[in-house]
């Protein structure tokens, strides 16, 4: 039996959701280029595309908008939990528990699609409530008249976004919505394949996304830029990190051996929005880290990934650095649930093998006779 560490190059399902060309740095949702979707689409339209496989017509778009907008408020037990939980808790732990609680509260027999829409609708509310409560601010209830992205911004900042903020928020969420068989999506599928429920799958996805090798890298990337502080110090910082054998966060990818196309798009937003917010120096640091990182790692196919510039955009939109992975989850839940639904149409229990390298036939020794 062949051992494939990290399951590299192993396919677990056929999919018509997302296609990645890791050599050319291209990404498509349902056949549409990410460059077009980030430029022209919005959260609701792309979520519909990923879930249903086609762009919605006007009627379908207004129906999905209305569904997403009408399900944002949380059950009282979840709001109470957010009010009472320790304010220094890790936001991904808080989100994971809150989504699990949503599962306990959901006792109706609606379809996985309806439940997926409901979870997607509520995750921004969980994030924004916790963010404001831990800052000692009053929660801002969702506003049904606003789009998904605008309402998310509004619940965090207590005011409506500018045009640039709204565009950046939509694009950032679209760019995080799906990415084929990444670690968190696979975690969702493992759970779904046992015929467990969709809340349990999403909780598994959040748990896997939390790690710094996956969705947690966006916070770490921004922390790097803040620690460097000045673009003149970037080269020394990167070199010292690499010499110590540490990883440059926001760099490298299992599939992309070139620039991640999402990073290219986010870089453009990061440049514009950091300028508007008066933190352009952080963007300049990031740009220098990119230049130096590519100089030393590019020959190994290690380039900026989605997490490299996203933090600058999220930070400019009013989110705290440790909250970034939760924003990632708020978008990726669309991909997680779409992959679960696609997999369940042709389910088979996921049960790989391990190659046993231990001993067999050992003699049981009573405890008093053991060394
Ligand atoms: C949304 C996302 O999940 S995007 C990824 C977010 N994660 C990060 O940004 C964390 C930093 N990056 C990494 O740790 C890696 O690039 C991963 C985990 C994302 C993918 O890596 P893999 O394909 O599994 O490659 P692997 O971990 O085996 O590394 C291969 C080689 O590249 C090196 N390498 C990979 N990424 C980096 C990096 N960011 N900085 C320095 N060296 C790196 C490794 O040290 C290793 O070198 P070696 O062969 O000399 O030992
Ligand atoms: O595809 C991966 O392995 C990681 C990634 O970029 C994502 O999940 O967006």
Q: Counting Cβ atoms within 10 Å, is residue 263 exposed (0-12), middle (13-18) or buried (19+)?
A: buried
Positions in the chain whose pLDDT score sits under 70: none
pLDDT number for residue 325: 97
CA of 250 from ligand 1 middle (Å) equals 9
Among the listed residues 339, 259, 262, the one whose alpha carbon sits nearest the alpha carbon of residue 304: 259
b/e string for 124-155 if b means 16 or more Cβ within 10 A?
A: bbbbbbbbbbbeeeebbbbeeebbbbbbbbbb
Q: Which of 38, 182, 221, 327 to mutate to test the pocket of ligand 2 (most atoms within 8 A of CB)?
A: 182
Nearest residue (by CA) to ligand 1, atom 23, is: 254
CA of 214 from ligand 2 middle (Å) equals 7
pLDDT number for residue 173: 98
CATH number of 11-213+319-344: 1.10.580.10
DSSP state of 251: B
Q: Where are the domains of the chain?
A: 11-213+319-344, 217-316
Ligand 1 contact, 224 CB (< 6 A): no
DSSP state of 138: P
pLDDT number for residue 169: 98
- 20's enclosing H/E stretch is strand 18-21
CA of 179 from ligand 2 middle (Å) equals 5
Ligand 1 contact, 310 CB (< 6 A): no
Among the listed residues 243, 245, 233, 325, the one whose alpha carbon sits nearest the alpha carbon of residue 288: 233
Fold of 217-316: Cytochrome p450-Terp; domain 2 (1.10.230)
CA distance 192 to 196: 5
Q: Which residues pair with 304 in a beta bridge?
A: 251
pLDDT number for residue 272: 96
CA of 188 from ligand 2 middle (Å) equals 14
Give the number of other CB atoms < 10 A from CB of residue 275. Answer: 13
Ligand 2 contact, 211 CB (< 6 A): no
Q: How long is the chain?
A: 371
pLDDT number for residue 98: 98
Q: Are 314 and 250 in contact (CB under 8 A)?
A: no
Q: Which of 178, 215, 255 to mutate to test the pocket of ligand 2 (most atoms within 8 A of CB)?
A: 255
Tell me whether 0.90 is exceeded by the ipTM.
yes
Q: Which structure tokens are listed for 143? A: 């506003």
CA distance 95 to 118: 15
Give the number of other CB atoms < 10 A from CB of residue 28. Answer: 17
The vertex-51 CA angle with 10 and 307, nearest 5°, equals 60
Q: Which atom of ligand 2 is nearest to the CA of 185?
A: 8
Q: Which of 182, 239, 247 to mutate to test the pocket of ligand 1 (most atoms within 8 A of CB)?
A: 247
b/e string for 171-198 if b means 16 or more Cβ within 10 A?
A: bbbbbbbbbbbbbbbbbbbbbbbeeeeb
């Amino acid at each position: 039996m062949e051992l494939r560490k990290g399951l590299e190059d192993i396919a677990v399902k056929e999919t018509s959701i997302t296609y990645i060309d890791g050599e050319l740095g291209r990404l498509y949702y349902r056949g549409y280029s990410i460059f077009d979707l980030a430029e022209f689409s919005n959260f609701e339209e792309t979520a519909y595309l990923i879930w249903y496989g086609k762009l919605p017509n006007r009627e379908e778009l207004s129906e999905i908008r209305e569904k997403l907008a009408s399900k944002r408020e949380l059950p009282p037990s979840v709001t109470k939990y957010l009010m009472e939980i320790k304010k220094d808790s890790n936001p991904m732990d808080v989100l994971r528990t809150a989504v699990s609680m949503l599962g306990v509260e959901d006792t109706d027999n609606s379809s996985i699609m309806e439940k997926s829409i409901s979870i997607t609708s509520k995750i921004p509310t969980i994030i924004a409530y916790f963010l404001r409560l831990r800052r000692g601010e009053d929660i801002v209830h969702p506003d049904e008249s606003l789009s998904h992205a605008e309402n998310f911004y509004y619940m965090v900042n207590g005011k409506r976004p500018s045009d640039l903020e709204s565009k950046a928020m939509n694009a950032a969420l679209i760019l995080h919505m799906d990415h084929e068989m990444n670690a968190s999506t696979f975690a969702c599928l493992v759970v779904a394949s046992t015929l467990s429920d969709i809340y349990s799958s999403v909780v598994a996805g959040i748990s896997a996304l939390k790690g710094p090798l996956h969705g947690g890298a966006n916070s770490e990337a921004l922390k790097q830029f803040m620690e460097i502080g000045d673009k003149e110090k970037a080269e020394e910082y990167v070199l010292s990190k690499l010499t110590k054998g540490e990883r440059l966060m926001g760099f490298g990818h299992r599939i992309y051996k070139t620039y991640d196309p999402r990073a290219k798009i986010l870089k453009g937003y990061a440049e514009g929005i950091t300028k508007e917010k008066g933190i352009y120096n952080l963007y300049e640091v990031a740009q220098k880290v990119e230049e130096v990182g590519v100089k030393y790692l590019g020959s190994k196919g290690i380039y900026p990934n989605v997490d490299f510039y996203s933090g600058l955009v999220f930070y400019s939109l009013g989110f705290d650095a440790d909250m970034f992975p939760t924003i990632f989850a708020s978008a990726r839940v669309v991909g997680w649930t779409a992959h679960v639904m696609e997999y369940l149409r042709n389910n088979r229990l996921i049960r790989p093998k391990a190659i046993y390298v231990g001993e067999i036939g050992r003699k049981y020794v009573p405890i008093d006779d053991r060394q």
